[in-house]
Structure 1
Amino acid sequence: MRFGLFGGATAPRLPDVAASAKGFFDFIETNVEAETLGYHSTFVTEHHFTNFGQLSAPLTLLTYLAARTTRLRLGTAILVLPWHNPVLLAEQVATLDLLSHGRLDLGVGKGYRHNEFAGFAMPPDEAEPRFEEVLDVLIRALASDAPFSHRGRFFCLDDVVVEPPPHQRPHPPVWLAASSDGSIAACARRGFNLLLDQFASPRQIGERIALYRRELEAAGHVFEPMRVAVARNVFVTQDAGEKEEALKRQAAINGKLLSLSRGSESRPGSHILGYADTDAQAVIGTAEEVIDRFAALEAAGVAYVLLSGQGSRANLRRFADKVMPKLAT
């Protein structure tokens, strides 16, 4: 198996500027160490208006990280396309891809949180058409060496060419966050890679990978296990007391995510909302217990896991020392 990180950093609005920035700098140092420990990638989220400072400018933070690392793949999971102008986004994406010598993985999605739709004064039923239009223009802008024009429902462009070009041609690998059958099939038909969430069970994950593979091959694309990444909240505990505390922390984290997600503006089937009444599938336990849980994922067809959640550096070291050698390919 291959392992990366998934999550982000926080920088809340505090009177002390250094205290606000601490989460960003801690994130950078954690990922610098993760590279030395053998992690393959880091994927960061995009969120807005949380009141506790979740990362809102992932490409900016990843550009800083690119200068501090040499091998770590730099991913977005996800850029919420309905919030963005596609040409301005393409310029930022291409700049990061150039500066990182082609280490960007471009994860995209539609968004789901009610506070974000409400904050941007965007009707949730516009999420789908905005996503489709922004994605089409973004891909064209990254791939085109000649000026082009566009007339759409939300954007109009005249004779634009994105500068600079990306390092990876025609564009960085695109990863699509999807969970419904329709979204997974659409991802496969486009030949994009698939990001699966941290809440679905191994059985659900296996069904989704099988669907993705069928649709991918039916569209004439080649399936490889590393084209699917699965997020999972992982914490390697040293004893029963630490496990109990980790489970409590995870319950609090899930509660906070649900409180941010519930509301009239939310897309109800999306992300954690679709699993509100189920086991959230966090992998918390001793190294042996974690290895057993990962064996179930591997049996479902998972080859690439993004570790999320309680990602302290001590936890990442324990995982790299006690778990990764048993599972890594």
Structure 2
Amino acid sequence: MRFGIFYEHQLPRPWHEGDELKLFQDALDQVELADKLGIDHAWEVEHHFLEEYSHSSAPEVFLAACSQRTKNIRLGHGITLMPPNYNHPARVAERIATLDLVSRGRVEWGTGESSALLELGGFNVPVGEKRSQWREAVEQCANMMAMDPYPGYEGEYFSMPCRNVVPKPVQRPHPPLWVACSNRETIKLAARLGIGALTFAFVDPSEAKQWVDDYYRIFKEEAVPIGHACNPNVAMVTGFSLNQDAAVAKARGMDGFRFFGYALGHHYIFGEHKPGRTNIWDAFEKARPTLPEEGGNRGIGTPDDMRKHLRGFAEAGVDQVAFIQQGGRNRHEDICSSLELFANDVMPEFKEYEAERQKKKAEELAPYIEAAMKRKKFMKPLSDDEIPNVVALGRQIAETSKVVSAD
């Protein structure tokens, strides 16, 4: 199994001068440490206007900074918001490719649409259209990275003429493609589209097995890739706080993990928010006595607790577990201590046979991937004669002026 660290850049109120600066600098230090320890992935979200829950509105900038402080860790968009009102597909293609170049081919391209009204409304993305907008944008963005030139597109949600979208990524035809999944229906959609499932639902290993079994069954039987390559993988998130003393691990990490869930619920499910004024941390403190405690069944406890927790995911067939370590008021020093303890005491057991597992998995899935790619209907490339000439604006103005003068 592989492991990742996952960032929302949470910042509970009250806010003080320098808090955001410290938040981002600490996160960069943590990613650098994770790279040195052998953690496989660093995932960074894209969210807008979700105060306290996520101050990560420009993940491409953060991940680019990470790329220059690391050597091996994969840099994951977890996720890029794809409806065109958030990000024009050509701009996504350009940014993903550029990040792939500056990181020497380490990008994971996660995608999604959001279910938070603060984001959807802020960018005028209709709730009823967000899934279809995501699907159109993802397919065309993959085409832009893979095709030379991109033939152009007249779609339902965006249109653009023929252009060659540059630069092109290191990983061809494009970096591994994922979608955020919060329920089993979306994980089934990921399988049907031949892309990785980034599952942000907190499930136990027994439930995880049902999700994984559904995913790989559907992938083998039905997959029609939305991109130009398949990425059959399932990643799941869990809490994370380790110490040889379980009570210390809980004291350091449980409150942050519970705030993570509470703030998520506030913005997505039950909250009422006045921009710039609502204090989610105050509401959380009032609700804290009614919230369940978390322990080893959520990745918060001793190394033995974590080992048992992860074995369940490994036996369920989960490909990667990503740790929610930066939540609430969790301290930078405690996060680093947990990472070091995990890398020394827990990770080696799961890393020992990972290369062999990956090899067997690739061999098993190879015929299914081949069949899936045969079902894919690729966008028709243009012949050289069909590629339009674009006359420079200055020349057009000069030629128009000549015509007017002659008249």
TM-score by length of 2: 0.71
Q: In the superposition, relative to structure 1, how do residues 322 and 76 fare at CA in structure 2: closer, same or farther (>3 Å)?
A: same
Q: In the superposition, relative to structure 1, how do residues 262 and 118 fare at CA in structure 2: closer, same or farther (>3 Å)?
A: farther
Q: Residue 182 of structure 2 contacts residue 201 of structure 2 at CA under 8 Å; is this kept in 1? A: no
Does residue 251 of structure 2 align to residue 237 of structure 1? no
- Distance of 1:15 and 1:244 partners within structure 2: 26
- Distance of 2:140 and 2:59 partners within structure 1: 20
- Of 202, 205, 223, 1:199 maps to 202
Once the two structures are TM-superposed, the CA of residue 279 in structure 1 deviates from its matched residue by: 8.8
Once the two structures are TM-superposed, the CA of residue 193 in structure 1 deviates from its matched residue by: 1.7
Matching residue of 2:262: 255
Does residue 302 of structure 2 align to residue 286 of structure 1? yes
- Distance of 1:142 and 1:244 partners within structure 2: 45
One-letter amino acid of the counterpart of residue 179, structure 2: L
Does residue 135 of structure 2 align to residue 119 of structure 1? no
SS in 2 for 1:160: coil
One-letter amino acid of the counterpart of residue 242, structure 2: V
SS in 2 for 1:195: strand
One-letter amino acid of the counterpart of residue 77, structure 1: G
Decide which structure has greater strand share: 1
Once the two structures are TM-superposed, the CA of residue 237 in structure 1 deviates from its matched residue by: 2.7
Once the two structures are TM-superposed, the CA of residue 328 in structure 1 deviates from its matched residue by: 2.2
Q: Residue 44 of structure 2 contacts residue 59 of structure 2 at CA under 8 Å; is this kept in 1? A: yes
Q: Residue 287 of structure 1 contacts residue 323 of structure 1 at CA under 8 Å; is this kept in 2? A: yes
Q: Residue 141 of structure 1 contacts residue 162 of structure 1 at CA under 8 Å; is this kept in 2? A: yes
Deviations 1:231-269 (A, max 9, x none): 11121133243244233332233212211212599xxxx
- Distance of 2:349 and 2:158 partners within structure 1: 50
SS in 1 for 2:152: strand
Does residue 3 of structure 2 align to residue 9 of structure 1? no
- Which stretches in structure 1 are left out of the alignment for 5+ residues? 266-276
One-letter amino acid of the counterpart of residue 36, structure 1: K
Deviates more, 1:104-113 or 1:301-310: 301-310
Once the two structures are TM-superposed, the CA of residue 139 in structure 1 deviates from its matched residue by: 0.8
The 5-angstrom pairing of residues 1-329 of structure 1 reads 1-9=1-9, 16=17, 18-52=18-52, 54-82=55-83, 83-219=86-222, 227-245=233-251, 246-262=253-269, 282-310=298-326, 312-329=335-352
- Distance of 2:87 and 2:203 partners within structure 1: 28
One-letter amino acid of the counterpart of residue 54, structure 1: H
* Percentage of identical aligned residues: 30
SS in 2 for 1:218: helix
Q: Residue 11 of structure 1 contacts residue 22 of structure 1 at CA under 8 Å; is this kept in 2? A: no
SS in 2 for 1:207: helix
Q: In the superposition, relative to structure 1, how do residues 254 and 74 fare at CA in structure 2: closer, same or farther (>3 Å)?
A: same
One-letter amino acid of the counterpart of residue 301, structure 2: G
SS in 2 for 1:91: helix
- Distance of 2:173 and 2:29 partners within structure 1: 32
Q: Residue 198 of structure 1 contacts residue 233 of structure 1 at CA under 8 Å; is this kept in 2? A: no
Deviations 1:176-222 (A, max 9, x none): 2224444333322322122222512222211111111111112479x
Deviations 1:280-322 (A, max 9, x none): 8622111111111112112211232111134711111111112
Deviates more, 1:254-263 or 1:131-140: 254-263
Q: Residue 194 of structure 2 contacts residue 232 of structure 2 at CA under 8 Å; is this kept in 1? A: no
Q: In the superposition, relative to structure 1, how do residues 326 and 181 fare at CA in structure 2: closer, same or farther (>3 Å)?
A: closer
- Distance of 2:98 and 2:260 partners within structure 1: 34
Aligned residue pairs, count: 317
Q: In the superposition, relative to structure 1, how do residues 248 and 180 fare at CA in structure 2: closer, same or farther (>3 Å)?
A: closer
- Distance of 1:99 and 1:128 partners within structure 2: 31
SS in 2 for 1:75: strand
- Distance of 1:213 and 1:167 partners within structure 2: 28
Q: Residue 236 of structure 1 contacts residue 315 of structure 1 at CA under 8 Å; is this kept in 2? A: yes
Q: In the superposition, relative to structure 1, how do residues 225 and 206 fare at CA in structure 2: closer, same or farther (>3 Å)?
A: farther
Deviates more, 1:241-250 or 1:118-127: 241-250
Q: Give the aligned CA root-mean-square deviation in angstroms.
A: 2.9
Deviations 1:101-145 (A, max 9, x none): 111000111212222123223321121111111111111111111
Deviates more, 1:316-325 or 1:114-123: 114-123
Q: In the superposition, relative to structure 1, how do residues 59 and 35 fare at CA in structure 2: closer, same or farther (>3 Å)?
A: same
SS in 1 for 2:162: strand
Q: Residue 229 of structure 1 contacts residue 305 of structure 1 at CA under 8 Å; is this kept in 2? A: yes
- Distance of 1:111 and 1:135 partners within structure 2: 14
One-letter amino acid of the counterpart of residue 72, structure 1: I
- Distance of 2:306 and 2:187 partners within structure 1: 28
- Distance of 1:299 and 1:251 partners within structure 2: 26
Deviations 1:3-62 (A, max 9, x none): 12112435899774x443221111111111111111111111111112236211111111
- Which stretches in structure 2 are left out of the alignment for 5+ residues? 225-229, 273-290, 327-331, 353-407
Q: Residue 176 of structure 1 contacts residue 187 of structure 1 at CA under 8 Å; is this kept in 2? A: yes
TM-score by length of 1: 0.87
